[in-house]
Amino acid sequence: MRTVFLRRGLVALFAAAVSFGVITQAQAETLRIGYQKYGTLVLLKAKGTLEKRLAEQGIQVQWNEFPGGPQLLEGLNVGSIDFGVTGETPPVFAQAAGADLLYVAYEPPAPHSEAILVPKDSKIQSVAELKGKKVALNKGSNVHYLLVRALQDAGLKYSDIQPVYLPPADARAAFERGSVDAWVIWDPYQAAAEQQLQARTLRDGDKLVDNHQFYLASRSYANQHPAVISALVEEVNSVGQWAQAHPQEVTAQVAPLLGLPADITLTSMERQGFGAQLITPEVVAAQQKIADTFQALKLIPKPLTIKDVIWTPPAKVATAP
């Protein structure tokens, strides 16, 4: 009987320790990465080089797929992932909502990798003709800023259209059945709609937006594991450089993962920016402009300071082993 009570006491003590965060070893040994159905992280996941490198440090890698950047950063905010990649707009909305995130690195501009699409038989021929129309988009995603800038360039206000906030799969369904007049979307969904639905590009990001992809981490993880974050950036950059030099190999590898034909996958890959780099002052300034734009439109509640959420690797781990 005494043994039974002792066991019960140990179980209760263990449960209490977990509840109060005393036992965190399992969590500390797992890097949880959020990714989307596109981009360099898909390639990194497929190659398996990150797992091999971090296994030497006793760290396992767990991959979690998200339908869009806003959903991914919500996962980062609530602590279900430690690191992930999104377009340029989701981090702005997440920071405004109080997420304790840090920008870690970015990919070169990819302005052709997002666009405002209309059905092939649509009478709409210009962005100006979207006035009063229903436009589908994933709220807070990279295409949200593209839409704002395209409307401004056409002399329209954001209030001149009827935004319909839908994740990509639901937005495509609405677009196909004619429930919306236009759809603002990114690759590979963009390339798929262009080739499978013969959707017309009303305007892409060229001369409007940079469409950077950003790698972000929770502040706590980045501060506690700077060597892991540095290793991540190096591996992402390495696989990106390889991908840029081998588009056909990348297509053959990634198309089955995406569940898309090779021609659609190749189009997406050719429009993508590759080569992760640490954040520069110029990129901070561009991101600050996005934050200021959304604050002026009252789409986020307060001014933001982007430079306050930029990760700088300690010198001793700037080049991780």
**Structural domain contains residue 319:** no
102/217 same-domain check: yes
234/139 same-domain check: no
Q: What is the pLDDT of residue 68?
A: 87
**Structural domain contains residue 150:** yes
CATH number, domain at 49? 3.40.190.10
**Structural domain contains residue 221:** yes
Residue ranges of the chain with pLDDT lower than 50?
1-28, 318-321
Rounded distance between C-alpha atoms, residue 62 and residue 70, angstroms: 20
98/229 same-domain check: yes
Q: What is the pLDDT of residue 39?
A: 83
Q: What is the pLDDT of residue 33?
A: 98
**Structural domain contains residue 317:** no
Read off the pLDDT of residues 198-231 as tens digits, 9 standing for 90 and up: 999 999 999 999 999 999 999 999 999 999 999 9
Predicted TM-score (pTM) of this structure: 0.83
Q: Give Cβ neighbours of residue 287 (< 8 Å, ≥ 6 apart).
A: 88, 91, 92, 103, 212, 306
Q: What is the pLDDT of residue 19?
A: 35
Residues spanned by the domain of 32: 2-106+212-258+281-301
Write out the chain in H/E/C secondary structure: CHHHHHHHHHHHHHHHHHHCCCCCHHHHCEEEEEECCCCHHHHHHHHCHHHHHHHCCCCEEEEEECCCHHHHHHHHHHCCCCEEEECCCHHHHHHHCCCCEEEEEECCCCHHHEEEEECCCCCCCCHHHHCCCEEEECCCCHHHHHHHHHHHHCCCCHHHCEEEECCHHHHHHHHHHCCCCEEEEECCHHHHHHHHCCCEEEEECCCCCCCCCEEEEEHHHHHHCHHHHHHHHHHHHHHHHHHHHCHHHHHHHHHHHHCCCHHHHHHHHHHCCCCCEECCHHHHHHHHHHHHHHHHCCCCCCCCCHHHHECCCCHHHCCCC
**Structural domain contains residue 118:** yes
17/100 same-domain check: yes
84/70 same-domain check: yes
**Structural domain contains residue 176:** yes
139/179 same-domain check: yes
